[in-house]
Structure 1
Amino acid sequence: MPDATADRRTDPRQPNIARVYDHILGGSLHNAHDRTFAADLAAAFPALTGIIRAQRCFQRRAVEWMLGNGVDQFIDLGSGLPTADHVHHVAGDARVVYVDMDSETVEDAGMILHSVPDAAAIRADIQQPGEILAHTETRRLIDTGRPVGILAIGILDFLPPPRTAIAPLTGLRNAFERDVYVAATLLTDQPPLDPDQLGLAAALLLRAIATPITARPPGTLRAWLGESGFQEAEYGSIPERQEEPLPAAETFIGRGGAIPPG
């Protein structure tokens, strides 16, 4: 999740976006202020709950698909709290590095993962792949000589224009000697997404975490991933749940190999 004020712990009334997402996903690591903020978000942008739940469902399918292709290590960008059916729950014995910019979220995640030796949470900027790869926990858990799964589920919406995902994803891809698999989502600015509702939700998020949320034209995610050197797999889109409409989000799952030096 995006970074927020460093002194949030001094004000327990301030909602934490990772805990808000945990509440929406059916977790238990949230308080009354987080639940109130989640209700305010849902009132402003009713589709948000369905989008967040569908993103988690898509993440599960992506991880299972990567496991089936021999991936046994994952880097989850903008991970939030490692609860509610998150990567290490799905991936079993695979090694997982959760990456988040919010210091409180990373601290809480560390406590959650204290008895999970093959998973760790680190504080790093998703736009700085070198920072992610140089971290002690990443070096302990991730082998750049083996295939890896990169997950960017729900986080790319927080990249403020004109920033894109091309540079960070290219940096991660080029750091590995074997295939790099990627799964990502991105909100689109087309129906059924209501721009007025998204604007209200964006204003709430901006006040809470000092980071805007942006929907982009259809095709943006595929363009970003294509320019980053990834080829899309034949895999389908975010699955529809009986109780939720298909959210207005573009999805991508694919793979790319490192570019040989020179």
Structure 2
Amino acid sequence: MSTDQPPIDPNRPSAARIYDAFLGGSHNFAADRAVAARAAEILPEVTLIARANRDFLQRAVRYAAARGIRQFLDLGSGIPTERNVHEVAREVSPDCRVVYADLDPTAVLYARHLLGDDERTAIVRGDLQDPATILDRPEVRGLLDLDRPVAVLMVAVLHFLPDGPALDAALRAYRDTAAPGSVLVISHAAPGGTPDLTDRVADLYNRSGAPLVLRDAGQVARFFDGWRMVEPGLVPGPLWRPDGEPVTDAARYLTLAGVGER
């Protein structure tokens, strides 16, 4: 096991493993499933929300690859599940390269197992709020040419980070590092029209040791400072360039999503 891989505590819920449980994955423990089950009792749509968020990620990856981007940095990538970033991107172009980064040891462990000897992908353990360390990793420098456009993905991760100077500085660093033509992809949990229920879910996460910060559209839009929003802007996840007919009740998905370009 890599020296940067801390032990996994099965008794402490993990945001990445809870999300895996929502998606029907197998890389989770009883403590994670208990939180997921309680969240579903409070908000029955939570599994639907998680799947819709995954669908947004895939549409955004296809968008980036279709506009010629061939390298992806997936920050807070989570536990591998079906149709990961490298799989979706390579449906557009087989030469796409992807670096996954996550702080959760379970996510890193299973990603390493999944990726195996794929020379065009890598997984690194690191804190999104420490961009210098992530960007200086040999796996990143070896796979990504940051003088060329890159897709920076922050999907369903920023709502686990509190507001503050560390987050602001990290977002500036990724923006300033990205070459012209790069894109930033963000999805984020929002209170929507049922703040009483979403506040209860946030409280459940907080009590489980995985703080969840709900933000409204104005607060999420700030994360795109210095980027030009592409159409249709910051919208409920299912409304961002849907593959088919857009859902009519998109606000119930409690997720805001958008893509910015440099």
The equivalent residue for 1:231 is 228
The equivalent residue for 1:138 is 140
Q: CA deviation at 1:48?
A: 2.4
Separation in 2, partners of 1:110, 1:224: 29
Q: CA deviation at 1:164?
A: 7.7
Deviations 1:217-242 (A, max 9, x none): 322222221x2x10001146422676
Separation in 2, partners of 1:67, 1:167: 27
Match of 2:259 among 222, 228, 253: 253
Question: Is residue 216 of structure 2 the alignment partner of residue 197 of structure 1?
Answer: no
Range moving further from structure 2, 49-58 or 234-243: 234-243
The equivalent residue for 1:3 is none
Q: CA deviation at 1:162?
A: 4.0
The equivalent residue for 1:22 is 20
Alpha-carbon RMSD across the aligned residues, in angstroms, is: 2.4
Separation in 1, partners of 2:210, 2:83: 26
Q: Which residue identity is paired with 1:219?
A: G
Question: Is residue 81 of structure 2 the alignment partner of residue 83 of structure 1?
Answer: yes
Shift of the 34–212 alpha-carbon distance from structure 1 to 2, 3 Å rule, reads: closer
Range moving further from structure 2, 215-224 or 140-149: 215-224
Separation in 1, partners of 2:197, 2:103: 26
Separation in 2, partners of 1:109, 1:121: 7
Shift of the 40–128 alpha-carbon distance from structure 1 to 2, 3 Å rule, reads: same
The equivalent residue for 2:188 is 186
Q: CA deviation at 1:255?
A: 0.4
Shift of the 195–97 alpha-carbon distance from structure 1 to 2, 3 Å rule, reads: same
Q: CA deviation at 1:243?
A: 11
Q: CA deviation at 1:176?
A: 3.4
Match of 2:155 among 138, 153, 156: 153
The equivalent residue for 1:60 is 58
Unaligned runs of 5+ in 1: 1-5, 257-262
Separation in 2, partners of 1:67, 1:130: 25
Separation in 1, partners of 2:118, 2:148: 21
Match of 1:111 among 110, 113, 135: 113
SS at match of 1:38: helix
Answer whether contact 2:8 2:105 (CA < 8 A) is retained. Answer: no
Separation in 2, partners of 1:83, 1:244: 26
Match of 1:72 among 61, 70, 73: 70
SS at match of 1:239: helix
Range moving further from structure 2, 132-141 or 179-188: 179-188
Unaligned runs of 5+ in 2: 1-5, 240-245
Answer whether contact 1:190 1:218 (CA < 8 A) is retained. Answer: no
Separation in 2, partners of 1:154, 1:203: 17
Shift of the 205–7 alpha-carbon distance from structure 1 to 2, 3 Å rule, reads: farther
Shift of the 235–133 alpha-carbon distance from structure 1 to 2, 3 Å rule, reads: same
Q: CA deviation at 1:201?
A: 2.0
Separation in 2, partners of 1:39, 1:189: 20
Q: CA deviation at 1:113?
A: 1.2
Deviations 1:181-213 (A, max 9, x none): 01101223331xx233223322332233x2311
Q: CA deviation at 1:245?
A: 5.1
TM-score after normalising by structure 2: 0.83
Identity %: 34
Question: Is residue 211 of structure 2 the alignment partner of residue 212 of structure 1?
Answer: yes
Shift of the 137–155 alpha-carbon distance from structure 1 to 2, 3 Å rule, reads: same
